[in-house]
Amino acid sequence: SQQGEEDPQALSIQEGENATMNCSYKTSINNLQWYRQNSGRGLVHLILIRSNEREKHSGRLRVTLDTSKKSSSLLITASRAADTASYFCATDPMTTDSWGKLQFGAGTQVVVTP
Amino acid sequence: DADVTQTPRNRITKTGKRIMLECSQTKGHDRMYWYRQDPGLGLRLIYYSFDVKDINKGEISDGYSVSRQAQAKFSLSLESAIPNQTALYFCASASTGRNEQFFGPGTRLTVL
């Protein structure tokens, strides 16, 4: 079963605009991660935020985490055509039987047009 | 060279055939994973291994088996392929104590 669900499912923006996508999850987590997938290729790790962190930055990426609402957001600032990809959140659940396993959402497909 | 490699990259087979997908990693990771991706469903875990002698079922292991031949190698087998196993298959590796996973380029499998 999927722990994380991304919203929106698809997002179309123009270069230079910001892109925001959200992830909601169901159970307590150790950390939450965001991955990018270019069409038909393997996922690439972008950023990890731990359950005791509220915000984290990496280059043009900003991730927030609200454990009380069980939600996270990924913001890509000043988007570029090369940011066109699918973005997945993945949770590391805080349960014994889920130890060491990530649970992925269905992803947000982002298209950045020049 | 890629850190996580998968072979073959594409495979078309017929119902009932046995198929093996192979994965190798050069990162020295102890953990390895097999996922399948279907449109609109994200990634689902098939099997995972935390060590050479450790094999665990994921959420969709029926119809699949795995072998961890060495720390660097983890293969996935479909004993008798069926059309609903048509999907994109990914291998990933990770290191105990670090949570990020590194993915291979994927194998696109079509079962006719």
Q: Identify the closest residue of chain A to B39 by CA–CA distance.
A: A106
Residues of A with CB under 8 A from a CB of B: 1-2, 30-31, 33, 40-45, 48, 88, 92, 100-102, 104-107
Distance in angstroms (rounded) separating the CA atoms of residues A102 and B102: 12
| Average pLDDT along chain B | 94
Residue-level pLDDT, tens digit, chain A, 114 residues? 456 788 999 999 999 999 999 999 998 999 999 999 998 889 999 999 999 999 999 999 999 999 999 999 999 999 999 999 999 999 998 876 666 789 999 999 999 999
User: What pLDDT is recorded for position A3?
Assistant: 65
Q: Which letter does DSSP use for residue A81 in this model?
A: G
How are strands ordered across the β-sheet holding B19-25? B4-7, B19-25, B73-78, B64-70
pLDDT at A52: 96
Asked if pLDDT for residue B101 goes beyond 80, the answer is: yes
B contacts of A33 (beta carbons < 8 Å): 99-100
What pLDDT, on a 0 to 100 scale, did the predictor assign at position A1?
Answer: 47
Contact A2 B42 (CB under 8 A): yes
In Å, how far are A57, A104, A106, B10, B93 from A99, measured between CA atoms? 26, 14, 21, 32, 15
Give me the pLDDT at residue A5, please. 84
Nearest to A104 by CA among A17, A27, A5, A22: A5
- Smallest Cβ–Cβ distance between B99 and the set A33, A105, A107 belongs to A33
Structure confidence by residue, pLDDT tens digits, B28-59? 999 999 999 998 778 999 999 999 999 999 99
CB < 8 Å to A92, chain B: 99
Cα A45 from Cα A56, distance rounded (Å): 14
For residues B108 and B85, the answer to whether their CB atoms sit within 8 Å is: no
- Of the partner residues A33, A44, A88, the one whose CB lies closest to the CB of residue B42: A88
